[in-house]
Amino acid sequence: MDIKVSQIANLPSRFGKFKVKAFKEGDKEHLVIFKEPLAEIPIVRVHSECLTGDAIGSLKCDCRDQLEYALEMAEKTNGMVIYLRQEGRNIGLLNKINAYALQDKGYDTIEANHQLGFKADERTYEIVTFILHHFGIKKIQLLTNNPRKIKSISDVEILKRIPIIIKPNKFNEEYLHTKKEKMGHMLEE
C-alpha cells in the first residue's frame, strides 16, 4: 500500500483545538483529526465522507450529527476522528445523487444502490489499520453503530464499542430503519 503522509498541523475549530494529519491513498485523501495528547486507549470514530450531510446539513441522513458528536467526543476525551473520503458509501457524489433520485421515487438506500449496479455498501477500511499503526495505537474504543466497521479493523484491539444515538427526523426515519433492518446497524444503546 503506497500511502503518502502529511505533516501535523493545528486545526482550531468550533468543536475544539485539534491537530490534523492527511493520508493520501491513491486518489483519495483522508484526514485524521485528533486531540493531543491522545488518550492511552482513545475513542476513535471512523467517519465516511458525506458532502450533503457533513457540509450542507442534509436531513436525509444522520451523518453530520454523527460527525459533530464524534468531534465533541474527541475534544472531551483526547480522541480521534478518521475522516475517510468515500462519498456515498464509496459510490461517489454523482452516483449518490442518482441514488437520492431513486429514493425520491420510493426505493430505500440499499435498493437505490442496487439499481445503480452497486453493492449496498462499497466502503473499505484497510487504511484505518494503517492510520492507527502510524499513530502507534494498539487498542481503541470504537465510536460506531456499524458492525462492518468493527469486523474490518484488524491488528488493533477494540476494547469497547460506543454507540452514536442520534434522534431521527421526519426525513431520515426510513433511512435509519433501513440501516438497522437491512445492514444490521446497532441504533440503540
User: In this predicted structure, what is the pLDDT of residue 42?
Assistant: 98
Residue ranges, the chain, pLDDT below 70: 1, 169, 171-189
* Alpha-carbon span 145 to 189, nearest angstrom: 9
Q: Give, in order, the Cα–Cα distances in Å from 129 to each of 1, 75, 88, 125, 152.
A: 12, 22, 21, 8, 9
- Active site positions, annotated: 121, 123
Residues in the chain: 189
User: In this predicted structure, what is the pLDDT of residue 3?
Assistant: 95
By C-alpha distance, which of 173, 115, 112, 119 is closest to 148?
Answer: 119
User: In this predicted structure, what is the pLDDT of residue 92?
Assistant: 86
* Alpha-carbon span 169 to 112, nearest angstrom: 21
User: In this predicted structure, what is the pLDDT of residue 147?
Assistant: 83
How much of the chain is in helix, strand and coil states, percent to nearest 5? 35, 25, 40
User: In this predicted structure, what is the pLDDT of residue 172?
Assistant: 58
Any idea which residue has 446497532 for its cell?
186
User: In this predicted structure, what is the pLDDT of residue 151?
Assistant: 86
User: In this predicted structure, what is the pLDDT of residue 145?
Assistant: 84
Q: Give, in order, the Cα–Cα distances in Å from 26 to each of 5, 9, 63, 141.
A: 12, 22, 25, 28
Cell of 54: 457533513
Cell of 23: 493520508
Cell of 2: 503506497
Q: Is the pTM of this model over 0.75?
A: yes
